[in-house]
């Protein structure tokens, strides 16, 4: 799967403009906190699941199935390694108050709100197949291990709930339709496509709104936040590249998963902090700082991946 870097950079600029629109609407007061939360809930519960269902091809092929399975296997390997590294870098003894936030920020990136728009724009539906495999594992880890980090306990009931996540269900549904070459009625297929198409603009506007509320000058003075973001933005894609090359993953899968792992910290970090700890201050700051810094690190890392490593 050959990718023209000019397409990648053009896509980044387009995405940055939509994020800028979200920032502008936030600064003007056209979107407030309550509206943004409602949009995020709509995205996670309805829009993203619809986009994932329609990400699979209509006709079964072994090549597509292998690509999906590589996304699953690569996701398992990468996330296990990230969890282990996070526990070494951000130990509870050194950061007793916020270690779980730093570990979460290192492990989980914005594979949803930024990952889907980038992969779909640059690679098309062909790239969304391994993406869907990775996202299946990502969401199981996010709502499993991610929840455990904040709650410090996890029951078998919680395990069951991770499999009932709308995005997890959507991937399984799309996989079943793909394997058996089942076709939805035209009206239903078009409806899912229309709703899923909202994923890119809505998610980017939400990110822009979040940045409109960030006080970057104050955030930059906090060294631990800077260290966490730099570690996440640089180590994650480099370790992902090494893990996948050791496993012998296809070049297209390596490209897509490295791209995903080069993205900033997941916006769900702030949501988890507010839900389970009652405050999202430093968590939201991590997300904002990581998103801003990724504007520098992401193009450089992707340039290196294509030009230095010949992917």
pTM of the model: 0.86
pLDDT, residue 279, reads 60
pLDDT, residue 38, reads 87
Residues of the chain above pLDDT 90, percent? 32
pLDDT, residue 260, reads 93
pLDDT at 1 over 80: no
Average pLDDT across the chain, whole number = 85
Q: Taking CA 293 as the corner, what is the angle to CA 288 and CA 297, rounded to the nearest 5 degrees?
A: 145
What pLDDT digit, counting tens, does each position of 63-106 carry?
999 999 999 999 999 999 999 999 999 887 777 677 888 899 89
Beta bridge partners of 265: 109
Give Cβ neighbours of residue 93 (< 8 Å, ≥ 6 apart): none
C-alpha 39 chain-centroid distance: 17
Please choose, from the candidates 302, 26, 291, 71, the residue with its C-alpha nearest in 3D space to the C-alpha of residue 174: 71
Instruction: Give the whole-angstrom CA distance, residue 225 versus residue 123.
Output: 32
58 against 3, higher pLDDT? 58
Residues of the chain above pLDDT 70, percent? 89
Average pLDDT over residues 196-207: 87
Give Cα separations from 33 to 38, 69, 159, 162 (angstroms).
Answer: 9, 38, 30, 27
Give Cα separations from 54 to 24, 27, 106, 236 (angstroms).
Answer: 31, 34, 30, 28
Average pLDDT over residues 39-50: 88
280 against 158, higher pLDDT? 158
Beta bridge partners of 109: 265
pLDDT, residue 72, reads 95
11 against 172, higher pLDDT? 172
pLDDT, residue 290, reads 87
Backbone angles phi, psi at 161, to 5 degrees: -65, -30
pLDDT, residue 154, reads 65
Average pLDDT over residues 234-258: 93
pLDDT, residue 43, reads 87
In the block, residue with structure tokens 């000058």:
217
272 against 83, higher pLDDT? 83
pLDDT, residue 15, reads 84
User: Using CA atoms in the order 269, 276, 90, 208, what is the torsion angle rounded to 10 degrees?
Assistant: 20
Among 50-54, 67-71, 100-104, 273-277, the least confident range: 273-277
Contact assessment for residue 97 and residue 279, using Cβ atoms and an 8 Å cutoff: no
């Amino acid at each position: 799967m050959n990718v023209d870097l000019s397409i990648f950079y053009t896509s980044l600029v387009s995405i940055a403009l939509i994020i800028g629109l979200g920032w502008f609407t936030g600064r003007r007061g056209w979107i407030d906190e309550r509206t943004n939360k409602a949009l995020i809930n709509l995205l996670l519960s309805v829009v993203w699941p619809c986009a994932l269902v329609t990400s699979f091809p209509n006709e079964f092929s072994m090549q597509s199935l292998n690509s999906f399975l590589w996304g699953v296997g690569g996701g398992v390997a990468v996330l296990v390694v990230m969890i282990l590294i996070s526990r070494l870098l951000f130990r509870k003894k050194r950061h007793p108050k916020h270690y779980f936030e730093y570990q979460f920020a290192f492990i989980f990136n914005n594979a949803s709100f930024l990952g889907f728009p980038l992969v779909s724009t640059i690679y098309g539906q062909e790239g969304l197949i391994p993406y869907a495999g990775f996202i299946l594992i990502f969401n199981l880890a996010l709502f499993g291990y991610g929840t455990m980090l904040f709650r410090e306990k996890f029951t078998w009931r919680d395990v069951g709930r991770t499999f009932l996540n709308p995005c997890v269900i959507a991937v399984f549904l799309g996989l079943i339709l793909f394997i058996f070459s089942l076709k939805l009625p035209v009206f239903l297929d078009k409806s899912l496509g229309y709703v899923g198409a909202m994923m890119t603009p809505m998610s980017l506007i939400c990110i822009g709104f979040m940045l409109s509320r960030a006080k970057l000058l104050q955030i930059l003075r906090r060294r631990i936040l800077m260290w966490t973001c730099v570690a996440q933005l640089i180590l994650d894609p480099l370790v992902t590249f090494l893990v996948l090359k050791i496993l012998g993953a296809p070049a297209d899968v390596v490209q897509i998963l490295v791209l995903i792992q080069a993205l900033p910290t997941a916006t769900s970090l702030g949501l988890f902090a507010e839900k389970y700890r009652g405050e999202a201050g430093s968590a939201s700051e991590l997300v904002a700082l990581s998103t801003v810094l990724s504007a520098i690190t992401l193009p450089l890392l992707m340039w290196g991946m294509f030009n230095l490593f010949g992917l």
